[in-house]
Homo-oligomer: A and B are copies of this chain.
């Protein structure tokens, strides 16, 4: 090491840490030499000494339908971690093995990070909840409603906001569309499936209107989403506006509208989907309930910071509001 300078390790260590009990000149000299020689402090040694890894793990299911990694959320997480000088580990847990007896994933069985961000959104294996409780690792559940230590978008509010936006523009025949049915997903549905609809229907009822849900049932499974949509869209008393559960529902609706109502379909039908970003790839940007992904990441890290700072107390669940971002179509009725 830099005994080339004829000083002790201690001086090196303190210099690089910017310790003020070291002379300015010495610090400079050390820094220069370190750079020249490509000296890289060993993170594991520091971790051992400090009893702390300065790292957290983002835990995902290997089953892609169970945990989707939204880029904006990841960006939020990274930003939050960077602020606290923490590193990020990515851990993918094989669900199948997890339910098998005896199997414990490395992230839990080995001690290698200071906390967990858990991004299992639907169908969390109960085994996992137990394991995490047993091992006492500070952790935050993202996108999932738990008794404590969790954070998720306020989907009820989002459904309400979207609906009130359309009501405010004069729409009366507003339907709610959810096409997730035939997505081959054997797991319990995500809470947002209920919550978004609930927000929508509450707003409709409050306005003295009757909620109408458009969803594919088992009987519709034979027709494509496009055909299914074309079917109800050809109806003369079709809705003038749609709150869509997600972009996957908005897409076939826009395509069918394109074909049936013509290229300027947005004048006859307003679609407001939930999505992580404004939906911009359907010809004209759609007014979108943009989910607070970045904030989710930022806040999750903040909560994990709390949880890691030792005070054992459970942290209150936190719901974050989505925000309606307007498109460039004229969403107004008539």
Contact = CB atoms under 8 A, between A and B. Distances in A.
Interface of A: 38, 40-45, 47-48, 53, 55, 58, 62, 64, 68-69, 71, 74-75, 78, 82, 85, 87-92, 106, 108-112, 134-136, 224, 226, 230, 248, 251-252, 254-256, 258-259, 262-263, 281-284
7 contacts: A38-B136, A64-B71, A82-B92, A87-B91, A224-B284, A252-B283, A256-B263
Contact of A87 (B108, B112, B134, B136): B112
A191 B284 CA distance: 30
Given A258-B255, A259-B259, A263-B226, A42 B38 contact: no
Nearest to A230: B263
A80 to B, nearest CB: 12
Contacts of A89: 55, 87-90
Given A38-B135, A87-B89, A135-B40, A281 B48 contact: no
Contact of A75 (B38, B64, B136): B64
Given A40-B135, A89-B89, A135-B40, A262 B263 contact: no
A68 B71 CA distance: 9
A71 B67 CA distance: 11
A104 to B, nearest CB: 8
Contacts of A248: 281
A281 B42 CA distance: 48
A244 to B, nearest CB: 14
Contacts of A53: 43-44
Nearest to A107: B87
Given A40-B135, A53-B44, A255 B283 contact: yes
A34 to B, nearest CB: 9
A56 to B, nearest CB: 11
A296 B232 CA distance: 43
Contact of A62 (B40, B78, B110, B252): B78
